[in-house]
Chains A and B, each alone.
Chain A
Amino acid sequence: MIDFVLLINRQGKVRLTKWYAPYSEKERTKAIHEVTNKVVGRSSRLCNVVEWRDKRLIYRRYASLYFLFCVDKTANDLLVFEGIHFMVELLDRYFNNVCELDLIFNFRKAHHIIDEFLIAGEFSESSKRNILRACSAHDQLEISYDVHS
């Protein structure tokens, strides 16, 4: 199970969080702080798994952004690692070459995309087409609304 998803940039600024395990507000802040310290600046030659408390942090870095999943021991870590890539490919297709700015200005879209394939801390869909279709259905709604108003 994935406890939380965290997107941070190289300066440690948080770009997106999704929490699937119960963490109180204080624990959330503390976790983000600890995790950021563990991962940001870690050499790229080292492996992408860091042990943290009784969890494992699995992360990938794309340009200036770190995509980080915190998982417990039921997860198959290597596939979670690929899951991050899957997520980035999705964002890439949706935003057409995604960059940090896309995620900042369209944070709600990013949330929708993640919600379509990560639910309750588990991967729920392995077809990119299905996910993107669901996302564009969301977008259709909003467009029709804005035209209407």
Chain B
Amino acid sequence: MSTMRGLRNFIVEIRGARNADGETDIIKKELAKIRGVFNKKSDSYSRRKYVLKLMYMYILGHDFSFGVLEAVELMASKDKNEKIVGYLFLSAVLREDSEFLTLVCQTLMSDISGSSLFAPSLALNFVANIASPSIAEVVAPKIVELLSAERGSVHTVVRKKAALCMLTLVRRAPEAVSFDTLPSTLIDLIDTRNVGFLTCLMSLLQEAVTRDPLAYIPAVPKIVHLMAKISLNREVAQDHFYCGYPCPWLLIKLMAVLLVLPPPQVGSQPHSDILRVVGHVSHIVDVSATGNKLNTQFAVFLQAVRLAVHVGQCEMLLLPPEDVMTGGVPAEGETTTLSSHRHSARLSEGSPDDRSILSIAGKALSSRNANLVYFALDTLCMLARSTPAVGSYHGTVSSLLLSSQDASIVRRAADFLFLVASARTARALVEELLAYLEGAGVDAVDTVRYVALRVGVLLERFIPDDTPSLSFCVWYCDALARLLGALGDQVEDILWFRACEVVASFPHTGKRYAAYRLCRQVLAADDCRSGSLDSLDALAVFLLGEYGGLLFQPVSSSDLPGYSVSGLETDPVSLQDVASLLIRVLSAPTSVDVLSPLQPVAVEAIGKIIASSSDRDSDSVMGVLRGLLETASRSIHPEAAQRASELLTILNLAPELVSTLLAPLPPRDIHCGSALQDRLEKQLGREGVETPDDVDTEEAESPRQEMEVEMPPQVSSVRPSSLLDLVSEPASTPLPIPPGVYTGVGVLYEGTHLQIGVRSETGTDGCRMEVFFGNKSGSMLSITAAVDFVPGPQEPASALEIRCSTLPSSLGPNQQARMTVHALAKAPYVSLPTLTVLLDKRRICMFLPLPISRCLCAPSAEIAEDVDMNFVTHWDALGPKLERAMVSTMETVSPRVIGQVGVALGLTPLKGIARQLRKAVFLVCLPNAPSVSSRGFVLLMVGPKGQGQIEIVARGHKAVRNNVLEVLVKALE
């Protein structure tokens, strides 16, 4: 093994550094030296050495801004050693968005086409790990070629890497991939015998299938056959066995692909083969094995369980594996076999047999191996929906929840309990979850919140449709009080906000109990808390305000039955108790910087109690409450003080006004839309523990979506559309764009009262559009207009940045108003923005015809000139793919006229080459194209072809190419 002495010494020196500062000093010194070396001409050995030194610094987390160019040179070198180092450095340092990627495109392309194994391996590895759209577009055809080449003509290693390159392209740059021929190519490749290649191919299929599952149905029998061959017959080279298991990696991947494909028909050969494999895989799990062997067996087993659910054979999991292997599974419609009897008997008992497949997962729950426990729980969660029998494990899971110190296991256990809960078991399960929360340590904030959200949803999941019974109300309030009490200040506001809504739907006694119970909880907790306030106080104060008055009313006879249950009578809340609670809130430490948001709520609560108290004249109650208000009026919280003073004044002058001013909250329909449920779904959308169906879909999208969130929000002036949404009239589909408007000037809409015209101009800074509103009627019109960009499924929300000026709200007779819209494309987009106009309560919606959608940037003069001068080179560099269209016209059109049409569309004409070719030639620049060489543009040649025919040929970025073509055809027609 060769080692570079200089590099070794450098590493030794860094390791010898006493502390971080020492290390930084060494690095600084070295960087200065390297910069000097790079500035001079140096030999191959030292260039490699210094690039490797830089790489080591990068691994250690140090920043430097040079060296990439040297590495690019090394990468392009013919010397293999230089190439290795170049690739090594660049693949570690470069990212998708790096501008240096354009520099390596050419090298990558020639390396991939290399004849040996060496260069293509390096280049394909690089592309598979880092594929920017610009690289993707260049290499995609070559990759397809490698994949679909004759067997034997391409080395398997190269083909293997090509498959994973394709995977990256499908994930990150789908627009560069042609999905029409991909399925047949990939399905043919399944016949290959190389295990390594098949593993890669399955990874690719797993992603490709999700985009078009139906196209891949012919792959099902092939994949199942392969799976059966490996699992049942162990027909694999010894090399690929891991811990005695025949290539588990490939096996898992085969199952993963089947999971995203439609399940085969019941009774078909693939279907019964799948069941045999599932039976076999479960049969060979040896729970007494240890370590890696057990893990491997279990990994495949868990995947097989998912597969069984996927093919619709959940009940099979209740049978012993041997029965499944020998085909003892009841087919559909067949009810008389022995096994189906047994199975239905077991289903009714609801508990799986000791020997059943499911019990293998059950046994893992009590394993000492924490990993097995975690994964078994994960699988049980997945099964919770489809297989009710898993509910029988709830005892084991509950004890795990309470005893485990492991946040990962606790989360999965809580998920499981949450998922198996039914109306019958909900109370017991909530009890268990609350027991966990009450005993949870303070350091587990995230986990506590995670569990608390589930408790919150469980509490309301089984609210009856009609008025909740008193016993439900009592249970809800008790559990809620304990939940908030256990959480302290870790609770999320959403939890108690929702509780306010739920309590408002309770019957009279329920509300009264809610106020009582929360108040009691606060009073009971007060002794052991510091001065700070939390959600428990907030909810108690709010409920006291709404329903506290009820506490001091005489009990009516209809309320009596509830009393004995709830303890309202045996341990009532006195006025003093309420007062002490409110005083605590009003006197909680507050400073000018940190105002307690609860103080105004408390003041309002006092007002509401006064308003709802029937014995308003009773001195005792009123006296105490007034006293509280006076305290509040001296608070340093300005809002609370003002509120309190106002209330006092009203009480003095016109006490009867109070009940009008402070009416209680009206009940709302709690069954429509729960913020808690929404939050949970959002969380699940990200974590996906619940439905097995969504496990594999839209996987690759999630990080991208997250990144989008960080993009700057749309400019606020675009927002008025939300106002429009409130209008009762349903949203109409936008009107089509009238012919001819694309040429930049035209009438967009013509009604009896209103005319909307548009004029647009494209510059290097985007498209500036003026929208004119003309009032044709003889009276005033009130107009509101908003521009909205609703991105399509594949488009980022920030693809188009739109700013628009506001419009005067009314328009006099025969007057005209103007709105300017400035649109700037940040990424290629397809959907057009819409203009919604609200005209005297009528809603008109139309597309805004941006002159060339997707490409709103005119190229700079230098770029245009460069392309004009070297047209042929650029045309060829855009690759072989082109789009052609023919337009028929009434009479022959000269290139000059075509040129004018193109200019009106916002295209940049290339005059020099146009004269030579006697055609109109246009250049279109994509948003954010850094330079000409990055292929960030599209070229069009348009010219007359025969009598009354115009031919358009376009090359460049596929989607944009098509789009420009479409628009141009429309305009020429």
Residues of chain A touching chain B, judged by Cβ–Cβ distance below 8 Å, are 1, 3, 13-25, 29, 32, 43, 45-51, 53-54, 72-74, 76-79, 81-83, 85-86, 104-109, 111-112, 115, 119-120, 122-130, 134, 137-139, 141-143, 145-146, 149
Contact = CB atoms under 8 A, between A and B. Distances in A.
B409 A120 contact: no
Contact of A143 (B2, B172, B370, B407): B2
The 9 lowest CB-CB distance pairs between A and B, nearest first, are A47-B370, A78-B299, A127-B239, A54-B686, A79-B299, A122-B203, A120-B128, A120-B164, A46-B406
Nearest to B694: A73
Given A29-B61, A124-B200, A79 B195 contact: no
B703 interface: yes
Given A119-B161, A124-B199, A49 B408 contact: yes
20 contacts: A13-B60, A43-B405, A51-B407, A54-B702, A73-B699, A74-B695, A76-B252, A78-B302, A78-B371, A79-B248, A79-B249, A106-B1, A119-B164, A120-B167, A120-B168, A124-B196, A124-B203, A126-B239, A126-B248, A146-B2
Contacts of A127: 195-196, 237, 239-240
Nearest to B375: A78
Given A76-B299, A120-B128, A145-B2, 15 more contacts: A1-B699, A45-B405, A54-B686, A82-B299, A104-B11, A108-B55, A111-B92, A112-B88, A119-B164, A123-B199, A124-B161, A124-B200, A126-B199, A142-B2, A145-B79
Interface string B282-310: 00000000001001101110110000000
B196 A73 contact: no
Contact of B699 (A72, A108, A119, A128): A72
B81 A77 contact: no
Interface in B181-236: 195-196, 199-200, 203, 206
B125 interface: yes
Between A29, A51, A79, the greatest number of chain B beta carbons within 10 A of the residue's beta carbon is seen for A79
Interface of B is mostly: helix
Given A78-B302, A126-B199, A20 B129 contact: yes
A139 B300 CA distance: 35
Given A78-B302, A120-B168, A49 B371 contact: yes
Contact of B8 (A53, A105, A111): A105
B688 interface: yes
A126 B252 contact: no
A139 B118 CA distance: 12
Contacts of A134: 121, 157
Interface in B237-252: 237, 239-240, 242-243, 247-250, 252
B242 A47 contact: no
Nearest to A86: B242
Contacts of B15: 104
A125 B196 contact: yes
A125 B248 contact: no
Contact of A74 (B92, B118, B249, B699): B699
A8 to B, nearest CB: 11
B967 to A, nearest CB: 32
Given A76-B303, A82-B295, A111 B375 contact: no
Interface string B902-934: 000000000000000000000000000000000
A49 B88 CA distance: 30
Contacts of B129: 18-20, 119-120
Nearest to A127: B239
Contacts of B97: 22, 24
Contacts of B125: 115, 119
B696 interface: yes
B60 A49 contact: no
Nearest to A28: B95
A26 to B, nearest CB: 11
Contact of B55 (A78, A107, A112, A119): A107
Contacts of A112: 88
Contacts of B688: 73
Contact of B45 (A32, A141, A149): A149
A129 B411 contact: no
B88 A111 contact: yes
Interface of B: 1-3, 8, 11, 15, 44-45, 52, 55-56, 59-61, 79-81, 84-85, 88, 91-92, 95-97, 117-118, 121, 125, 128-129, 157, 160-161, 164-165, 167-168, 172, 195-196, 199-200, 203, 206, 237, 239-240, 242-243, 247-250, 252, 256, 292, 295-296, 298-300, 302-303, 370-371, 373-375, 378, 405-409, 411, 686-688, 695-696, 699-700, 702-703, 707
Contacts of A105: 3, 8, 11
Contact of B370 (A45, A86, A104, A120): A45
A109 B1 CA distance: 9
B295 A73 contact: no
Contacts of A47: 370-371, 373-374, 406, 408-409
B441 to A, nearest CB: 14
Contacts of B203: 120, 122-124
A23 to B, nearest CB: 8
Contacts of A149: 44-45
Contacts of B408: 46-47, 49-51
A54 B411 CA distance: 13
Given A22-B95, A74-B695, A130-B196, A51 B248 contact: no
A76 B168 CA distance: 19
Given A20-B129, A21-B703, A145-B81, A120 B165 contact: yes
Contacts of B91: 115
Contacts of A16: 59
Contact of B247 (A14, A21, A24, A126): A126
A23 B81 CA distance: 29
A11 B465 CA distance: 57
Nearest to B255: A76
Nearest to A124: B200
Between A29, A86, A119, the greatest number of chain B beta carbons within 10 A of the residue's beta carbon is seen for A119
Contacts of A120: 128-129, 164-165, 167-168, 203
Contacts of A83: 249
Nearest to A136: B1
A125 B686 CA distance: 30
A123 B200 CA distance: 7
Contacts of B702: 54, 72
Between B164, B249, B707, the greatest number of chain A beta carbons within 10 A of the residue's beta carbon is seen for B249
B611 to A, nearest CB: 47
B84 A138 contact: yes
B2 A22 contact: no
B379 to A, nearest CB: 10
A14 B59 contact: yes
A49 B374 contact: yes
Contacts of B196: 124-127, 130
Between A51, A83, A107, A126, the greatest number of chain B beta carbons within 10 A of the residue's beta carbon is seen for A126
Given A72-B699, A73-B695, A74-B695, A139 B1 contact: yes
A76 B292 contact: no
A25 B95 contact: yes
A125 B199 contact: yes
Contacts of B302: 76, 78
Contacts of A128: 239
Nearest to B703: A21
Contact of B256 (A13, A51, A74, A119): A74
